[in-house]
């Protein structure tokens, strides 16, 4: 899967998040869990981890657990149970290593790769937490649209700093525009959401450029879902600071 195709699919997934937010919390929870599952399938293959099935199960359980924990939380702070989920996920990662029957080759690489995947999927729970804040629907839509536009622009083969600047600039403009028309979100908040998501997309575009494992579709799944997952926590943080 080439870089332009991944960028377009990232934009489509981000648009799906925005659409889910319009229909309420349950669809947003469902889309967040879908992000977790897609990432869990591809991340071990992307990194070439020695125990892809076990690592994928740990990542999927951790991400789904984080989303469900936040969904079940009543009252602020919405992320208060997230540290517990992360702690249990790290323990589960070590249990996975103990259960390996292959001599535990590349042990450190396996543990670090699995735990990194856990951190990424738990960030997806930020979309659900964002949706529960004051003006949550507007906040999620602004962040998701900014991410979608930034990802779509990154599909254009501009290259180098030009591509990074255009990607970030497009996300800022998109975020500010949506923030201006959506209730409860200001132009400034929308623009900052665009800046955060645009920089993320541009950085990942450079990071994954030329990675051989991305020729495999399962590995490409993780790469295209990663910016959408991480953006969940970025949107939540910006929303709490600037929206309320």
What does the block give as tokens for 54? 């076990």
CA 143 to mean position of chain CA atoms = 12
Ramachandran bin of 73, using left for φ above 0, alpha for ψ from -120 to 50, beta for the remaining angles: beta
Of 90, 92, 93, 68, which is closest to residue 81 (Cα–Cα)? 68
* Predicted TM-score of the model (pTM): 0.90
CA angle in degrees (0–180, nearest 5) for 10-16-17? 95
Q: What is the 3-state secondary structure (H, E, C) of the chain?
A: CCHHHHHHHHHHHHHHHHHHHHCCHHHHHHHHHHHHHHHHHHHHHHHCCCCHHHHHHHHHHHHHHHHHHHHHCCCCCCCCCHHHHHHHHHHHHHHHHHCCCCCCCCHHHHHHHHHHHHHHHHHCHHHHHHHCCCCHHHHHHHHHHHHHHHHHHHCCCCCHHHHHHHHHHHHHHHHHHHHHHCCCCCHHHHHHHHHHHHHHHHHHHHHCCCCHHHHCHHHHHHHHHHHHHHHHHHHHHHHHHHCC
For tokens 């998501």, the residue is 197
Other C-beta atoms within 10 Å of 53: how many?
Answer: 10
The number of CA neighbours under 13 Å toward the Cβ of 4 is 5
Other C-beta atoms within 10 Å of 118: how many?
Answer: 28
Per-residue pLDDT at 6 = 85
Contact 62, 69 (CB under 8 A): no
In tens digits, the chain (244 residues) has pLDDT values of 677 788 899 999 999 999 999 888 899 999 999 999 999 999 999 999 988 999 999 999 999 999 999 998 887 888 888 999 999 999 999 999 998 888 778 889 999 999 999 999 999 999 999 988 877 888 999 999 999 999 999 888 777 778 889 999 999 999 999 988 888 788 888 899 999 999 999 888 888 877 787 778 888 899 999 999 999 999 998 888 776 5
Per-residue pLDDT at 70 = 93
């Amino acid at each position: 899967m080439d870089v332009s195709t991944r960028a377009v699919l990232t934009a489509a997934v981000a648009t799906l998040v925005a659409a889910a937010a319009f229909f309420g919390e349950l669809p947003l929870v469902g889309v967040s869990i879908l992000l977790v599952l897609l990432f869990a399938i591809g991340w071990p293959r992307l990194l070439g981890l020695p125990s892809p099935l076990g690592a994928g199960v740990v990542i999927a359980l951790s991400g789904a657990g984080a989303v469900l924990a936040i969904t079940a939380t009543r009252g602020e702070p919405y992320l208060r149970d997230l540290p517990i989920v992360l702690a249990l996920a790290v323990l589960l990662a070590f249990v996975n290593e103990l259960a390996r029957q292959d001599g535990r080759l590349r042990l450190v690489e396996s543990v670090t790769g699995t735990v990194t995947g856990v951190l990424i999927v738990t960030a997806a729970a930020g979309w659900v937490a964002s949706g529960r804040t004051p003006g949550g629907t507007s906040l999620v839509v602004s962040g998701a649209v900014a991410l979608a536009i930034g990802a779509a622009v990154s599909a254009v083969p501009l290259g180098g700093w030009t591509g990074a600047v255009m990607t970030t600039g497009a996300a800022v403009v998109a975020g500010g525009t949506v923030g201006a028309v959506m209730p409860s979100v200001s132009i400034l908040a929308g623009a900052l959401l665009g800046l955060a998501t645009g920089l993320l997309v541009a950085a990942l575009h450079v990071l994954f450029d030329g990675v051989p494992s991305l020729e495999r579709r399962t590995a490409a799944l993780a790469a295209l879902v990663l910016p959408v997952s991480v953006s969940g926590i970025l949107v939540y943080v910006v929303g709490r600071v600037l929206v309320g």
